[in-house]
Structure 1
């Protein structure tokens, strides 16, 4: 049987919860979600009903590479790149060229940046066809 899914949330293990919340709030523009519960977990709204959970804990065994990344899409990649440039926030294309916007083989543009724990984030202007 075929099921239909949509992203609900993704979770990242982080070293310093406050530092990571500040990055995802101030750089990425995600909105904190007020929740009760554990002091070592924060939720942020990434848009469209989707969320990120940041969980502070033992980061020791975590291995981060660019191949394992989170990708989000934005309607105005040029405005975002201008904000990153103005804020001195580094980004690259897929090969790692600083300050370059890459073009995916399917034609959409993309950049990559890292959060405070080294997780890679792809930001692109990919808009899949509506069904």
Structure 2
């Protein structure tokens, strides 16, 4: 009663209090606000010869070149998934490349992809870098590893 009388003298009506309480209750029922999750946007690779890289990515992986926002001759942008891009930048690149640092693309059939690699004389290997071997993972996925003209490792799998 004491609270009601004090609120009345402050000219706050009971319906306004109840409305405020309802808003507070609704806010408490909402999930806690968390930090925004980062969303993958693009990957960038260095190339000593952009023309060679363009030939590789368009003819071996069939990537589509998209608009270059920099409008220069040292970047090529590719669409690699809906709203995800990769760009290759011509520069003086590091020569150290290890298979654990790789990007991955999926194809419908690894054996058919391997046939195309053989036709183009492109070397491939499994995870242990045994040349000419397809890796068959315990989860049923088949994969091979190839290198682009600058030595970057690329996994190609069937993502079953």
Normalised-by-shorter TM-score class: 0.7 to 0.9
CA distance in structure 1 between the partners assigned to 2:37 and 2:112 by the alignment: 33
Matches within 5 A, 1:12-31: 12-31=45-64
In structure 1, stretches of 5+ residues that fail to align are: none
Relative to its length, the structure with more strand (as a share) is 1
Structure 2 residue runs without a partner (length 5+)? 1-33
In the alignment, is residue 98 of structure 1 matched against residue 131 of structure 2?
yes
Indicate whether 1:64 and 2:103 are aligned: no
Bigger CA radius of gyration: 2
Question: Larger relative contact order (C-alpha < 8 A, sep ≥ 6)?
Answer: 1
- CA-to-partner distance for each residue in 1:85-131, whole Å, 9 max, x for gaps? 2222110111112221101233211100000010000001114xxxx
Q: What is the root-mean-square deviation of aligned Cα atoms in Å? A: 1.9
Q: How many residues align?
A: 126
Residue in 2 that maps onto 1:43:
77
SS at match of 2:87: strand
Matched, 1:9 2:51: no
